[in-house]
Structure 1
Amino acid sequence: MTHGDTTDETVGGEDVLDGHVPPTPAAGPRTRFNRKRDYVLLAGIVVALAVSGVVVWQRSDIRATESKPSNVRFDVLPAPEFFPPSLAEAWRADSPATWTPVTTGQLEDQNTGMASTVVTGAGGEVAGRDPLTGDVRWTYKRDLDLCTVSMAWKKVVAVYRTDGNWLPEGDPRAGGGCSEVTALKADSGERDAQRNFDAELGTRLLDDGDHVTATGSLLLLTLRSDLVKTMEYGQLPAMVNPNKQPRTGCSYESVQVTSGKIGVIEHCGDYSADQLTVYKASATDSDKPEVISSVVLPGESAQIVAMSGDFTAVALPDPGRVLVYDGKGKLTATHPIDLGDRDLRENPVGRVPLVTTATGAFYWFTGSRTVVLSAADLRPLWTTPDTLGPGTIFAGRALVPVPDGIAVLSQADGARVGTIPVDREGHTGPVTMSSVGPMVLEQRGATLVALH
């Protein structure tokens, strides 16, 4: 290229306009999915994914659940206007998962659309039944055994058993626990909500109107209506944030609840006597209980028998008495009561004394007799001896189970109006009772019996 030539360009000393321009090198061969081993690998991946999907489905709650809800609307059954002259067995059903009759659709539910239903629980199945006939209206079944079934928030609450989930040997749930809770719509049996938690075997559910508390010997768990935990009290299975529980090394002997509060009798290593603690059912941190009051009791073998407003009634033996404490843990009254020789000598089953709530009163079964306490100040009103359970209210009378039948009592003073003969076929253990419409229900151990 000569000086002054403005038409030629050079790049690296070569004329790029004149002469041969080398072709652009061709791109390398593209990887193609055309070898036999590639197809074998793809087939293996597809099979693995399919097998994993089947395994997950087989182990899922959906695969393990059999739900047969009802779409029929049933009515609330009216209670009888007059007390019936007699009661005879209408039907019975196995129901070891209920410790007291579970019913829905009382007269106060007339405008809610909730039908009168009796709920039973056996094996892994919860069943809603016609109160008059015992016919099954709906069922909800898991491949797990039931721990307990109860009512709260106008829903049926079922708790299922699971294994220990590799918990350490010292944990109370290491041999299995009650870890899956399901809420069902009471009128249809449809699943409403489901959660996991860490309740102990033998747990019972206590309803305060807004919360449900699962009892245990070392841990109490409280849930709100969407089954979210609002409080944990005691020995947690995984202590993420230590030093939040008020005491450690305590066991729980009895539990009761009232609106927004939980009362528990604790036996702690630091004290030879029992201790009464009342704490809130919910707080900012669910694992940091907000204690309202805590007081050492003057003795052992104590049981909480009732809570009402700011008052808590605690029963103690030797001598038999009911102590009433206010919201600050101050003793406000002491009432002597007669107790049987074996009363209060053992913790109640499930840590829950047998108590029936009635209008203006609590009916407490001591183990040998029924003591009625005023709901206003928790003082004893009257006692009927030689009973099998706390009883229930039906057609304006108090019905209390006795060895030869059902005692019919005046609610005002406990005077016996009469006795209805009932053949319990040799059952001598505690009997809990309820009623729905014209039906009187008895829970006799693992069997629910309807009388009419």
Structure 2
Amino acid sequence: MLRARSSVRPERWRRADVVVAVVLAVALVAGGVLFWRTSAAATTRSVTAPTGSFPPPPLSLGSPPAGFTEAWRAPSQGTQAPLVAGPAVVTAADGEIAGRDAATGTTHWSYTRDDTICTAATGFGQVMALYRNESGDACSELTVLVPSTGARRVYSNPHALPGTRLLDSGTLVALTGSRYLQVLRSDLVKTTEFGTVDTPDQPGRQPYPDCSLDSFAITQGRLAVLERCPGEDQDRLTVIAPDGGSDATSPEVIFSALQPGAHGQVVAAAGDRVAVARPGPARLEVVDGQGGVVSSTPLAVPDADLAAQPPGGVAATTSDDRRVYWWTGSATIALDRADLQPVWTLPGTQGPGVRYGDAVLVPVRGGLAVVDPVTGAVTRTTAVDRGGWTGPVQSAVAGSVLLEQRGPDLVALRPA
């Protein structure tokens, strides 16, 4: 008996297969293009510099010059203080991070994204740029750049919110927040976290999950957090190990102790000591490694200076080998770097100042006070025209160039 032939010819199946394959290929290509266009790679423009392209910085001076003149300025609303990393002075404006020559402001490299910069800082000797996400409600795009070339070194997606600060201990960086903080090592792997974890993998790992994190300071091996917790009328000072332990979801608490007062702010940490400033009356308390107050020193500053937390919960400070220079809001106070005891106070300042040769240059109205770092005596005042800017001034030094952060602008001053 003969079988009937199939009414569908084989070549028709082959044509149908080809059509389906083409449709699938087009869909895959379109999906790939859409993914690329919405990815970080598509919204990033990077111009790197050859190794060794930066000229040597202007030679440092043994003493401050007789005067300064403006060399250049650039917008940098993404930095809270001048950012000097390797050979570069780094600015952060809108979505661009730029590595500039200290003497001229010439841009040697740039890294630009369509997203807005939340903040930029140095960490591990590199440049760290934290960007907002596409929706703008979080700061979850962290890029690390090589300061000499601008090349991207590593990238991650941490959990942070607008207002976060990047605190560098030299080997670790903490990302602060009012409810949650985390610490990253140089490959951006999280070493520990602290505070309120939104969706914890293992609930119950945090010792104080419902507290408000108010102010912070980091030093080698210790991260100090002053917090306010439900049901507690006093500040709680908690010090954790930033490098964590075997489990990054459970912080290693060195100590946590209620303090004799409220509304304080962490100023600095050094060794096993933490300096906490309080109003009513204005005073500086030094806390030891067990959480006890070992000294309380009256401060000759208005209570109003200490009535509110500093921006981002981080005190305005600079430091050298012997001193920490802290700006209260109206005065600069030098602390001994070993025990954090106040050494001298200079009223009527606009910022903490910075070491420049054998002196400290402290911004004041209309100029710079040249200050003896040991005694706090003002030896002279150098005029600087800030064009009507009367707000806070954060300073840094690159060779002989003095850098001033004046609000959203970075201004470079060279010896006159």
TM-score (norm. length: structure 1): 0.87
How far the C-alpha of 1:63 sits from its partner, in A, is 1.4
1: CA distance, partners of 2:289 / 2:303: 31
2: CA distance, partners of 1:33 / 1:221: 61
Count of aligned positions: 410
Greater relative contact order (CA < 8 Å, ≥ 6 in sequence): 2
Alignment match of 2:166 (pick from 193, 201, 205): 205
Range with greater deviation from structure 2 (242-251 or 92-101): 242-251
Alignment match of 1:68 (pick from 31, 34, 47): 47
- SS of 2:89's equivalent? strand
How far the C-alpha of 1:132 sits from its partner, in A, is 0.4
How far the C-alpha of 1:425 sits from its partner, in A, is 1.9
1: CA distance, partners of 2:333 / 2:39: 48
- Superposition pairs for residues 358-377 of structure 1, below 5 Å? 358-377=320-339
2:125 maps to: 154
How far the C-alpha of 1:32 sits from its partner, in A, is 5.2
2: CA distance, partners of 1:76 / 1:35: 68
How far the C-alpha of 1:45 sits from its partner, in A, is 1.1
1:312 maps to: 274
1:180 maps to: 141
Question: Deviations 1:298-347 (Å, cap 9, x if unpaired)?
Answer: 22220111111111111111111111111111222222211224111111
1:15 maps to: none
2: CA distance, partners of 1:348 / 1:194: 29
1:81 maps to: 62
Task: Give, as a single letter, the amino acid of the residue that structure 2 aligns with 1:416.
Answer: V
1:104 maps to: 85
2:190 maps to: 229
1: CA distance, partners of 2:170 / 2:179: 24
8 A contact 1:200–1:219 mirrored in 2: no
Alignment match of 1:278 (pick from 228, 239, 242): 239
Alignment match of 1:140 (pick from 105, 111, 120): 111
1:92 maps to: 73
2: CA distance, partners of 1:32 / 1:256: 74
- Give aligned-pair identity as a percent: 42
- Superposition pairs for residues 291-306 of structure 1, below 5 Å? 291-306=253-268
- SS of 1:188's equivalent? coil
- SS of 1:88's equivalent? strand
- Superposition pairs for residues 387-426 of structure 1, below 5 Å? 387-426=349-388
Alignment match of 1:130 (pick from 92, 97, 101): 101
- Superposition pairs for residues 346-361 of structure 1, below 5 Å? 346-361=308-323
Asked if 1:254 is matched to 2:235, the reply is: no
**46 and 431 in structure 1: CA distance in 2 versus 1, 3 angstrom threshold:** same
2: CA distance, partners of 1:273 / 1:163: 39
- SS of 1:162's equivalent? coil
1:56 maps to: 35
Q: Which runs of 5+ in 1 are unaligned?
A: 1-21, 106-115, 165-174
- Higher gyration radius (CA): 1
1:263 maps to: 224
Task: Give, as a single letter, the amino acid of the residue that structure 1 aligns with 2:77.
Answer: P
2: CA distance, partners of 1:198 / 1:163: 14
8 A contact 2:183–2:192 mirrored in 1: yes
Question: Deviations 1:206-247 (Å, cap 9, x if unpaired)?
Answer: 111110001111111110011111111111232221111111
Question: Deviations 1:109-143 (Å, cap 9, x if unpaired)?
Answer: xxxxxxx2100001111000010010100001111
1: CA distance, partners of 2:202 / 2:247: 11
How far the C-alpha of 1:75 sits from its partner, in A, is 4.4
8 A contact 1:222–1:229 mirrored in 2: yes
Asked if 1:340 is matched to 2:302, the reply is: yes
8 A contact 1:198–1:237 mirrored in 2: no
1:18 maps to: none
**399 and 231 in structure 1: CA distance in 2 versus 1, 3 angstrom threshold:** same
Asked if 1:288 is matched to 2:250, the reply is: yes
1:195 maps to: 156
2:181 maps to: 220
- SS of 1:197's equivalent? coil
Asked if 1:241 is matched to 2:212, the reply is: no
1: CA distance, partners of 2:134 / 2:302: 39
Question: Deviations 1:333-371 (Å, cap 9, x if unpaired)?
Answer: 222211224111111111111011111110011111011
1:11 maps to: none
8 A contact 1:253–1:348 mirrored in 2: no
Task: Give, as a single letter, the amino acid of the residue that structure 2 aligns with 1:123.
Answer: D
Question: Deviations 1:169-217 (Å, cap 9, x if unpaired)?
Answer: xxxxxx7111011100010000000000111111111111110001111
Alpha carbon RMSD of aligned pairs, Å?
2.0
Q: Which runs of 5+ in 2 are unaligned?
A: none
8 A contact 2:286–2:295 mirrored in 1: yes
- Superposition pairs for residues 25-64 of structure 1, below 5 Å? 34=13, 36-64=15-43
Question: Deviations 1:89-125 (Å, cap 9, x if unpaired)?
Answer: 11000000010000023xxxxxxxxxx2100001111
Range with greater deviation from structure 2 (37-46 or 230-239): 37-46
8 A contact 2:282–2:302 mirrored in 1: no
1: CA distance, partners of 2:137 / 2:10: 54
8 A contact 1:203–1:216 mirrored in 2: yes
2: CA distance, partners of 1:363 / 1:33: 83
Question: Deviations 1:27-77 (Å, cap 9, x if unpaired)?
Answer: 999965645443332221121111011111112222111110000513442
2: CA distance, partners of 1:239 / 1:76: 49
